[in-house]
Amino acid sequence: MARFLTVTPNPAIDVTYTVEQQAIGETIRVHGVRRTAGGKGLNVARVLRALGCDAAAILPLGGQGAFFRDELTRSGMPFLACPVSGSTRTTVAVVDGIVHPTLYAEPGTPLAESEWTSLAAAVRDNAVPGGWVVIAGSFPPQSVTAHLALLIDAAHAGGARVLVDTSGPLLVAAAEVGADVVKANESEICEATGADLLDGAVEIFAQRGVVLVVTRGADGVALRLPDGTTYLQPAIPGISGNPTGAGDAATAGLVAALAVDQDPRSALLSSVACGAAAVLSDLAGEIDPDALAALAERAPTGRRTDPPSLPREIGAHRDHTHED
């Protein structure tokens, strides 16, 4: 189907409210409303296509699925919708340009076992040898390791590599059931493992032999290979705006670079440039590809550290941003 497939296990209609200033317990007048077909996997697919990559989206769709189909068709996004009996959820982001956006995320509806099987079959039938499958975002309630394993095994059966970007217990499970790359922010990694410090959390993943990518917000991104070698790429300075979706753009930049060049330095530079471009955009899943070259030139030089030590500064700042 496409060299890059994204799987959004728990898609949502993303509603963005633009307000003058966020405030708790008060009536706030909304100046602008935008509704989009959302979910981390879709955001990744959009950025991949903006980068000129052959990308398509796979997602389960229930009630309100017509909205998704209409919007994705109108935008030219290739997609495969797997029908499910439950309703598609809604998330609401409140943005004022002053503080970090506030996100209200519904949990979604559990998938039946037959629906998980159908979703995995769609992945297996459409993955291509040498391609990438990105499984991104939250999972529906009652999802378990076996459901994630179905998706990863299906991607590998099609000859593709797999990156998983999620949170909670399934983040650790992704490393245990064969993901090639696991990506999350610092807080998500610590919370998923129960470790107090990032270096302890990273060691848990290291024992499972997975490539670990740690996003650090304004502090950049780190990539740790199974042998312990770690690459650090600082963030691009002087970037401000809407960080919603920046992590998804960073994922797209990472896998787009890995698909053509196995050098982690190049992949991390592409990742931070795409993340910065997303911050400069008003909406998640949008970047200006023409801005990437200039952003990459502004990036500080990354560096490599050899095992067994993990630089302490990786754990010096905790990024508490969670995206759904």
Residue corresponding to tokens 């598609």: 88
Cα dihedral 318/229/135/196 (nearest 10)? -30
Q: Could you confirm whether 248 is annotated as catalytic?
A: yes
Please list, in sequence order, all residues whose beta carbon lies within 8 angstroms of the beta carbon of residue 255, skipping any fewer than 6 positions away. 4, 44, 48, 132, 134, 163, 181
Residue among 136, 308, 102 at smallest CA distance from 213: 136
Indicate the burial class of 46 (C-beta count within 10 angstroms; 0-12, 13-18, 19 or more): buried
Total length of the chain: 324
Residue among 181, 182, 179, 199 at smallest CA distance from 190: 199
Q: Which of 14, 165, 180, 248 is catalytic?
A: 248
DSSP letters for 135-160: EES---TT--HHHHHHHHHHHHHTT-
Helices (H) and strands (E) in the chain, counts: 10, 14
Contact between 225 and 305 under an 8 Å Cβ cutoff? The reply is no
Indicate the burial class of 316 (C-beta count within 10 angstroms; 0-12, 13-18, 19 or more): exposed
211: left (phi over 0), alpha (psi -120 to 50) or beta: beta
User: Would you please indicate which residues are annotated as catalytic (active-site) residues?
Assistant: 248
